[in-house]
Amino acid sequence: MRAERFDHKGFEVAGEHSPLEQFEIQRIGELHLGNFDVSFNNSAVFMVGIVLFLTFFMIGGMRHAAMVPGRWQSIVESSYEFVAKMINDTAGSEGRKYFPFIFTLFMFILCANLVGIIPYTFTVTSHIIVTFALAAIVFLGVTFIGFAKHGMHFLKFFVPSGVPIVMLPLLVVIEVISYLTRPVSLSVRLFANMMAGHTMLKVFGGFVVSLGIAGILPLAFIVALTGLEIVVALLQAYVFAVLTCIYLNDALHMH
């Protein structure tokens, strides 16, 4: 008999051995604020864990900062330099002010992606609500910076130049929609990459068991796929951060 499980609202949830089981949110304790269910869950545990780990990693690496860095210190320093250079290249020197935010964002996503590759862990960034919340913070922040810096002139950003006046209203609407797609495409990209990769790993993991001795082939494939997943984890964190810089650059310099 097929084991069926239901969540508290009666929706069927993924079965015990489904490749999607890894994305399940499990509540740890109950906590309600008004009508909202704000119970602590496995995703939140990993988020808190990642933040604690990164804090330890950054502070611990620089605690005995030496002129000639050791291994730990040089990892911390090179991640600092990587992000600093990225901001400088894409958003110019004016973007340096926003380094703390972008660095935090990059390190959080990177760490979440990499932690997710370890078996039996939860991948925080494979849930669109998490990535969308991050993208929404970026989007709202960047829009706010744009208005704070340029005032109402920022609205010119939505007016394409060199267009006949008749076409203008239509094009402005399209430009506004195109601007609003930014948080969506930003979050969908990260979420889709993480979720697709992890589902694929689990599907092939299922083949290993069901194929018996021939399962060595999918096992070899998983090894290769895990390597690819590490690249994807790095690349998607980078893409998220670099797009944040590009949006920041748009808001600062209005191209």
Partner 1 sequence: MHSIFRRGLGLIGFEDGAQMTSKRKPLSPGKPDEKSLDRRLAAARKAAEDPRPRSMIERSAFGIAARLVAELVSGLVVGGGIGWLIDRLFDTSPVFLVVFFILGATAGIMNVFRAAKQMNAARAEAQEDNDEGSARD
Q: Which is nearer to partner 1, 14 or 173 (CB)?
A: 173
Return the structure tokens found at 220.
């070899």
The CA distance from 181 to 172, in Å, is 14
Amino acid type, 78: S
Residues in the chain: 255
Q: Which is nearer to partner 1, 57 or 158 (CB)?
A: 158
| Least distance (Å) between residue 109 CB and partner 1 | 15
Q: Mark residue 65 as left, alpha or beta (left: phi above 0; alpha: psi -120 to 50; beta: remaining).
A: beta
Q: Which is nearer to partner 1, 140 or 148 (CB)?
A: 140
Residue 118, classed as helix, strand or coil, is: coil
* Cβ count near 133 (within 10 Å): 13
Q: What is the DSSP letter of 119?
A: T
Q: Does 72 bind partner 1 (CB under 8 A)?
A: no
Q: Which is nearer to partner 1, 161 or 210 (CB)?
A: 161
| Least distance (Å) between residue 184 CB and partner 1 | 4
| Least distance (Å) between residue 167 CB and partner 1 | 12
- Among positions 152-191, residues that touch partner 1 (CB under 8 A) are 170, 173-175, 177-178, 180-181, 184-185, 188-189
Q: Of the ranges 36-44, 100-108, 109-117, 231-239, which one interacts with partner 1 (CB under 8 A)?
A: 231-239
The CA distance from 55 to 29, in Å, is 26
Residue 7, classed as helix, strand or coil, is: coil
Interface residues toward partner 1, by CB under 8 A:
89-90, 170, 173-175, 177-178, 180-181, 184-185, 188-189, 192-193, 235, 238-239, 242
